[in-house]
Structure 1
Amino acid sequence: YMLHPLFDYQKSNIPAYMQPSLRMEDLEKMVCCLPNLMNQKIIADFLDSKCSQIDATAEDIQKEISLLEDYKKSVITEAVTKGLNPDAEMKDSGVKWLPKIPKHWKVIPSKWLFANSDIRRQTGDEQLTASQKYGIITQKDYTAKENAQIVLATQGLEKWKHVEPNDFIISLRSFQGGLEMSEITGCITWHYVVLKAQKKVYHKYYKWLFKSARYINALQGTCNFIRDGQDLRFSNFALVPLFELPLEEQQQIADYLDSKCSEIDTLIADKKRQLDILADYKKSLIYEYVTGKKEVPVKDF
Structure 2
Amino acid sequence: MRKMKDCDFQWIGQIPEDWMMTKVKFVADFYNGDRGKNYPSGDDLVDDGIVFLTSNNIHSTVLDTNPEITKYITPERYKLLGGAKIKKGDIVFCLRGSVGLCSINESEDEGTVASSLTVLRPKNINNHFLNFILNSKIAEIQTKKFENGSCAANLSAENVGTYVIPFPPLAEQQRIADFLDEKCGEIDSIRSDIQKQIDILNDYKKSVITEAVTKGLNPKVKLKDSGIEWIGKIPEGWKTSYIKRLFDITLGKMIDSEKDVGLENYLCAANIKWTGINVDVHKQMYFSEYEKKLFLLDDGDVLVMEGGMAGTAAIYHNEFYPCYIQNSVMRCRSKNAATIQTFLYYWLFAIYHLGYIDRICNRATIQHYTKEKLGNTPILFPPLSEQKAIVDYLDEKCSEIDVTIADKQKQLETLDEYKKSLIFEYVTGKKEVP
TM-score by length of 2: 0.51
- Greater alpha carbon shift after TM alignment, 272-281 vs 161-170: 161-170
1:92 aligns with 2:225: yes
The residue number in structure 1 matching 2:344 is: 206
Change (3 A) 1:42 1:126: closer
Question: How far apart are 1:41 and its partner, in Å?
Answer: 6.7
1:232 aligns with 2:232: no
Change (3 A) 1:105 1:292: same
The residue number in structure 2 matching 1:268 is: 405
The residue number in structure 2 matching 1:166 is: 300
- Measured in 2, the distance between the counterparts of 1:168 and 1:292 equals 52
Contact 1:110 1:237 in 2 (8 A): yes
Residue by residue over 1:200-236, the C-alpha shift from the partner in whole angstroms, topping out at 9 and shown as x without a partner, is: 2222222211222457733443454756x67433321
Query: Which structure carries more strand by proportion?
Result: 2
- Measured in 2, the distance between the counterparts of 1:19 and 1:212 equals 41
Equivalent in 20, 23, 45 of residue 6 of structure 1 = 20
The residue number in structure 2 matching 1:132 is: 272
- Measured in 2, the distance between the counterparts of 1:198 and 1:240 equals 16
Question: How far apart are 1:71 and its partner, in Å?
Answer: 1.9
1:78 aligns with 2:211: yes
Contact 1:222 1:239 in 2 (8 A): no
Contact 1:125 1:186 in 2 (8 A): no
Question: How far apart are 1:92 and its partner, in Å?
Answer: 0.1
1:104 aligns with 2:237: yes
Counterparts in 2 of 1:1-301, with a 5 A limit?
1=2, 3-7=17-21, 45-116=178-249, 126-130=264-268, 131-133=271-273, 142=279, 145-146=280-281, 150=283, 152-154=284-286, 158-159=290-291, 161-173=295-307, 176-184=310-318, 186-189=323-326, 192-200=329-337, 201-213=339-351, 217-224=355-362, 231-288=368-425, 291=429, 293=431, 296=434
- Measured in 2, the distance between the counterparts of 1:13 and 1:255 equals 59
Identity of aligned residues (%): 33
Alignment RMSD (CA, Å): 4.2
The residue number in structure 2 matching 1:299 is: none
Q: Which has the larger radius of gyration?
A: 1
SS in structure 1 at match of 2:380: strand
Change (3 A) 1:136 1:187: farther
Contact 2:300 2:341 in 1 (8 A): yes
SS in structure 1 at match of 2:306: coil
Contact 1:77 1:214 in 2 (8 A): no
- Measured in 1, the distance between the counterparts of 2:287 and 2:372 equals 27
Task: Identify which of structures 1 and 2 has the higher relative contact order when contacts are C-alpha pairs closer than 8 Å and 6+ apart.
Answer: 1
- Greater alpha carbon shift after TM alignment, 156-165 vs 75-84: 156-165
Question: How far apart are 1:266 and its partner, in Å?
Answer: 1.6
- Measured in 2, the distance between the counterparts of 1:284 and 1:118 equals 45
- Measured in 1, the distance between the counterparts of 2:211 and 2:417 equals 38
> Structure 2: where are the runs of 5+ without partners?
4-16, 29-157, 254-261
TM-score by length of 1: 0.71
